[in-house]
Structure 1
Amino acid sequence: MNALMSKKKVRATHTKSKTGCRTCKIRRVKCDESRPGCKNCDSTGRKCDGYGIWTTVNIPATKEVAPVVHTVYPQPGSDIPRGTCNMTVLLSLPKLNDEEKICFDFFRSTTVVKLPGVFYSHFWQELVLQACVAEPAVLHAVIALGSAHRIEEQTLRPRGAIAPDRDELKRREVFTIQEYSKAISALRNRKTEDKNASLRVVLITCVLFVTLDLLRGEYGNAMTHTQSGWKLMKELQSCNPGTATPQLEADLSSDCTSVDESLSESLACLSVQSALFGCKTASSHLDISQAAHISDMKIPSSFRNMSDARRSFNIILGDIIALTEECRSFDYSGSPYPPQIGSRQICLQSGIASWKMAYSRSRDVLVRQANDDRTIIGVSLLRVFLSMTSIMAETALCRGQQSLFDDYTSHFTSIIAQTLHLLRSAAHKKMADAGHYDSEELVGDFIADVGILPFMYYTALKCRVPWLRRQAIALLLMTPIREGMWDSFIMANVARKVMIAEEDGFFDSYADEIEPGPFDNPIDRNERLKHIPPLPESSRFYDVELEMYDPLKGSGKLILRRQKDGEEGCWEAVACSFDFSTLKRRTYADVDYSPLHPNGSPVSSSASSAASRCP
């Protein structure tokens, strides 16, 4: 017996898991790898130290820690209902002062819920909170963003309480800047031999800085930070050549769960959003994020989840923006398109058709997977974007001929009809967990992702059917929302200036007929008003370039270009400054959905809709 007992125990051979949390690795137990914290640790009262995002945890042992309970929202498609389940993970943070606690708590309870909009974001809903535990730079950037978002919310929506006075707002602004400075100092003072770890920390902080800049209306800084982020991402990918990004996952076979994928996807969304806005620097960086193009990607016959659908769609949208920009350069010079331009257009049109087919097959599944009303709206939102991208792809080689857009009146009509449906859905459903937010808040907030504004603005610029154009502008005016760089108030008034410059009184004799209410049925008007002549080609602008001086006040410059006398390569430019600061912005209280029946159909009442008409 003693001889047997003296024999060394032989550990059974097995393949080591490199993806378990640090705590389970130290304890030498199998990790269940639940995200964002493993259940093994939670069930035994231990703190889960995460999944190796960084090689070391940089929290000084001498600092006191303040336990923070963070509600985690499951990814769409999981078996856990988002609105009914209260999953929590205990985060150990360095001890914060009272103001820091308030702003951090606001960030985790409000900001991370609202900023992603209607699309699930691994970056916002998991990665950032995990990073706060380990990295002071991320923590202070989060507090700065939470502070700025709190200022925005309490200034615009005091919820029955008294809004902060000028002195209090100034104090909070100073606090925000101080936390921003602390984040920068923490980045500078961070010491580690792991270059990849440092790059990831800087990238996470960079995305937070971009969002803070957008929230504060500092669009120039936002673009600078985005460009810096792509340079860092390129450096990270060169250090890790096997690293996949959402755009490189051509077979779309895995969810976006890794840190590098999450960062790349966040930067790609910011770049696409900025490029749609018209920022040339953003579109120039799409080639970094678009390492895979539609020609490299095989779109599946159906999508497993919303992440798959959106990642593939972003590839298509990025390629369309790049093609449009390239065609524009040939149009301005009058040079002929090279043969590969036409081939790329055909490839894009084929990709859009494949995506549409996969979406149609998957739509019911995606809706069933949705954990809340926001995600259901996200499913519908992609379909509206598809209508816009179809027009963009088919008109990319238009050679400046804007009358070509008249052939897509049915597409523009569909965009408006679908937008009306989205707004009705947002107005008649609770949009967030446990009824925490009212239905109006989905259409009255700052979000970091795209929503309805890009395709409504595109319709207001490119659709010259006068009643549809005015309805698009009216919907922008009555929907007070900011989506990154996109501000519905500014976009509506810019589109109105372009419309006035193009029409120049052409439709004055039809004024009573073409002025719609925002909830009018666009299909009925198309049939009833088809006797109205189209706007002449010579009046239409090919390109609208927008430069913002002060985004929050609504001042900037417009440069409008159109072909001169129909000659290719001969262009007329019209520049004009604008200042919308004296115009009244709609507030959340102004948004009135009363012209709707309970079933969501429009009420035929000219009196009820007149107040929301395009001025």
Structure 2
Amino acid sequence: MPLRTGVSRSRRGCLTCKIRRVKCDEEKPTCCRCRSTGRKCDGYASPSSGTPRQSSELRIVQYTSQVSEPIRMSVFPSFHQPLAGCDYRALEFFHFQTVSCFGAKAGDFLLRAAYQDATVRVAAAALGSLHRAFVRDGGGPAVAPSGLTRYALQQYSSAIHLALNRIPVTEGQSTDSILIMCVLFFCFESLHGHFRNAVQHGIAGLRILRQREERFLKEGIRLPPSIVRLMFVTIENQMLEIDWQSYLPVSIQSTLLSPSKLPPLNLEDTPTLDQLSDSFQFCYNQYLKLLYLSQNLESVELVQILQQNEAYYAQVRQHMHAWSVKFDAFLAAHVQTNQSEADRVTINHLKMWRKVMDIFVNIDGSTSEGGLDRFASDFGAILCLAEDLIDSSSRTPASRSKPSAKVQPSQQRPNTLPTILPKPGSSSLSPSPPPSSSSSLSSSSFFVVSLGLVPLLWIIATSCRHSQIRHRAIDLMSRSRRREGVWDSALFSTLARKVVTLEEEAAGFAQGAMYEPADLPVSARTSAVAGEFCEGRQGKVKFFRNGTKLYEEVIQW
């Protein structure tokens, strides 16, 4: 191992003290300063070579021949921590595979944060290890946790402890690291299948973010990086979809459920595809939140919020129209351009969600009363795009390099859009119909924290009353093995099949019968499916018809 030469001052303190910029007592194997404050001492840097590392290029450097021995991972010049084999493999998987689940910009941001902040790095190791286990084990429940899962849970517990030591944040300290850890914890619990815990982490992060926004407006303090806000738009949209109001204390409902007072991103005259994606996220997040509030008026505060934001509601619709015009201009300007696979995927996502938006804006009546019946052809177009995206993700890896694990990681998508749709049973967006012949889907499990397809397929299956369309959506969900945050394809395909079976039996259809929306009477339609995540991997689901509860069921996954 090369020796360090030409040192002009002592650099022998532990990594944790260096990051905190405090004097280290240099006691070994762990320093007294870290132990006395309850922090995890990250150890001491081994001697480095005389050649200064000035390149900021992301890379992995292994200084020993055996992975079972302590190794060095050098991705940034300041990171020289010796790593055991399990730590190395977890961070390696996070580096090459997990960050791709967030999209290109968010992934790069999280990668840099993980290697600059020792506390975030522990959370990243936990998530990387659990993601590796998820891919290897097929995403299903593990009867006996594997070694990877046990290690991931240990790291997760350590990361929670480290995060708690940073709260409350003192005056002048940044909450950026806490927000990043909330994102990683949300993803960890989603991968683990403990969706209620994931929602709680999302709520914690959103509370901190909203407090930062309020202080920015009142005191002018710095906002978190825009990419952090984008990641929380994704998380917030997922929680709007699952009716997260039931998980919120009443005292903070009006604060978190009200639209942000920050203006949406302004688009340039000739925006890039990334700028179009970002603008879509913020504008549509506000649009969806206003729709959500209009269906959940349970306090005087919420009514007042709606009255105050009627003008803004119209403004958001104008912004969406302006966005659509610029998106069309972008497509026209790049029609002859050779698109990368990443750009093609992003464009198809935007096409799909714009069509959903058009359906949602033009709906007449509720979804259970036939309001979506006239959009069958639109559903079909959306479903074709969804199948194309799922098939392409199973064919084309989007990781940063060749996977180092023996397990082939799931394919990742490069875009950073959120998953968006209204709650089931409300006037809603309905997804799309079936494509032609189905190609074989990848057997590997797919995890992503960006614009999802499972919510679309769920809405298609439960709200579109065309037999071929809805059954194709269910089939695609059940075969795709996707977990998109708290949306799990296996779980929601099972629930969708129950909804369709209830409706077909109530209408007197024989099994496998073909029918169109006009053939399914309103009296046979399921008007709502209300679910609640419970502790662990289980939840309660209630099925309603015309406002009357049909039955309640406890499900496990």
The answer, yes or no, to whether TM exceeds 0.5 is: yes
Match of 2:411 among 441, 450, 453: 441
Report the TM-score, using the length of structure 1 for normalisation.
0.64
1:447-526 correspondence runs (5 A): 447-504=448-505, 506=507, 508=509, 511-513=512-514
C-alpha distance after superposition, 1:251-294 (max 9, x if no partner): xxxxxxxx53222211121111222234335896764673346x
Matched, 1:277 2:242: yes
Q: CA deviation at 1:370?
A: 9.2
1:535 maps onto 2:520 in alignment: yes
Query: Gapped runs of 5+ residues in structure 2?
Result: 1-16, 27-42, 60-73, 413-441
The answer to whether the Cα contact below 8 Å between 2:532 and 2:539 also exists between their aligned partners in 1 is yes
Is residue 210 of structure 2 the alignment partner of residue 234 of structure 1? Answer: yes
**Conserved? CA contact 1:320–1:393, under 8 Å:** no
Q: Distance in 1 between matches of 2:491 and 2:501?
A: 15
Report the alpha carbon displacement of residue 305 of structure 1 after superposing the two structures with TM: 2.8
Counterparts in 2 of 1:399 and 1:288: CA distance versus 1, 3 Å:
closer
Give distance in 1, aligned partners of 2:314 and 2:458: 26
Report the CA distance between 1:484 and its aligned residue.
0.5
**Which residue does 1:354 correspond to in 2?**
322
Q: Return the index of the structure with the highest Cα Rg.
A: 1
Q: Cα distance 1:178–1:71, how it changes in 2: closer, same or farther (>3 A)?
A: farther
Query: 2:98 corresponds to which residue?
Result: 111
Alpha carbons of structure 1 residues 191 and 341: separation in structure 2 relative to 1, 3 Å? closer
CA-CA distance at 1:486 after TM superposition: 0.6
Partner of 2:271: 303
Question: Aligned to 2:118, which of 112, 133, 136?
Answer: 136
Whether contact under 8 Å (1:100, 1:143) holds in the other structure is yes
For each residue in 1:276-327, what CA deviation from the matched residue of structure 2 results, as whole angstroms up to 9, or x when unmatched?
Answer: 234335896764673346xx67655543232x21222223332343233234
Task: Give CA-to-partner distance per residue, 1:329-367, whole Å, 9 cap, x none.
Answer: 469xxx9xx988987765555443332221111136678
Deviations 1:412-444 (A, max 9, x none): 122112223323433554544566598983563
* Matched residue type, 1:97: A
- Structure 1's 483 and 460: CA in aligned 2 closer, same or farther, altered over 3 A? same
2:20 to 58, 74, 80: 58
Residues 73-112 of structure 1 aligned to structure 2 (within 5 Å): 89-90=76-77, 92-112=79-99
CA RMSD of aligned residues (A): 4.2
- Give the counterpart of 1:176 among 139, 152, 158: 152
Rounded to whole Å, the distance in 1 between the matches of 2:554 and 2:366 is: 29
Counterpart residue number, 1:557: 540
How is 1:303-382 mapped onto 2 (pairs within 5 angstroms)?
Answer: 303-306=271-274, 308-329=275-296, 347-363=315-331, 372-382=340-350
Are positions 1:120 and 2:120 aligned together?
no
> 1:239: how far off?
4.3
SS at match of 1:547: strand
The answer (yes or no) to whether the contact 1:542–1:562 under 8 Å persists in 2 is yes
Return closer, same or farther for 1:549/1:445 CA change in 2, 3 Å cut-off: same
- Count of residue correspondences: 459
CA distance in 2, matches of 1:446, 1:111: 9
- 1:150 corresponds to 2:132: yes
Alignment of 1:180-259 (within 5 A): 180-189=156-165, 195-241=171-217, 242=220, 259=224
Kept after mapping to 2: 8 A contact 1:286/1:322: no
Whole-angstrom CA distance in 2 between matches of 1:70 and 1:151: 30
CA contact (8 A) 1:273 1:450 kept: no
Shift of the 363–375 alpha-carbon distance from structure 1 to 2, 3 Å rule, reads same
Question: In the alignment, what sits opposite 2:423?
Answer: none
CA shift at 1:148, angstroms?
Answer: 1.2
Looking at structure 1, the residues matched to 57 and 332 of structure 2 have their Cα atoms a distance apart, in angstroms, of 28
CA spacing shift, 1:192–1:579, aligned 2, 3 Å: closer
With 505-514 and 314-323 compared, the bigger mean Cα shift is at 505-514
Tell me, in whole angstroms, the C-alpha distance in 1 between the residues paired with 2:345 and 2:480.
Answer: 16
Q: Secondary structure at the match of 1:125?
A: helix
- Structure 1 residues 371 and 216, CA, compared in 2 at 3 Å: closer, same or farther? farther
Question: Using a 3 Å threshold, how does the CA distance of structure 1 residues 505 and 423 change in structure 2: closer, same or farther?
Answer: same
User: 1:233 corresponds to which letter in structure 2?
Assistant: L
Please name the residue that 2:6 is paired with.
none
Partners of 2:355 and 2:99 in 1: CA distance: 29
- Structure 1 contact 92–133 (Cα < 8 Å) conserved: yes
Identity %: 18
Query: How far apart, CA to CA, are the structure 1 residues paired with 2:392 and 2:479?
Result: 16
Tell me which moved more, 572-581 or 375-384: 572-581
Deviates more, 1:207-216 or 1:269-278: 269-278
SS in 2 for 1:441: coil
SS at match of 1:92: coil
| Distance in structure 1 (CA, Å) of the matches to 2:410 and 2:113 | 32
Partners of 1:546 and 1:556 within 8 A in 2: yes
Distance 1:330 1:304, change over 3 A: same
Structure 1 residues 192 and 496: alpha-carbon distance in aligned structure 2, compared to 1, 3 A threshold: closer
Q: For residues 545-570 of structure 1, give each alpha carbon's deviation from its aligned partner in whole angstroms, at most 9, with x where no partner exists.
A: 12234775xx533223343xxxxxxx
Aligned partner (choices 400, 405, 413) of residue 380 of structure 2? 413
Question: Equivalents in 2 of 1:138, 1:286: separation in Å?
Answer: 25
Q: Is the partner of 1:121 in helix, strand or coil?
A: helix
Alignment check: 8 A CA contact 1:214 1:222 kept: yes
Alpha-carbon contact 2:120-2:177 (below 8 Å) kept: yes
Q: Deviations over 1:466-503 (max 9, x none)?
A: 22111211111121111000111111111111112223
Give distance in 1, aligned partners of 2:535 and 2:161.
28
1:505 Cα deviation from its structure 2 partner: 5.0
Alignment check: 8 A CA contact 1:70 1:90 kept: yes
Paired letter, 2:213: Q
The runs of 5 or more residues in structure 1 that have no matched partner are: 1-54, 74-86, 159-163, 246-258, 515-529, 564-570, 582-615
Structure 1 range deviating more: 427-436 or 272-281:
427-436
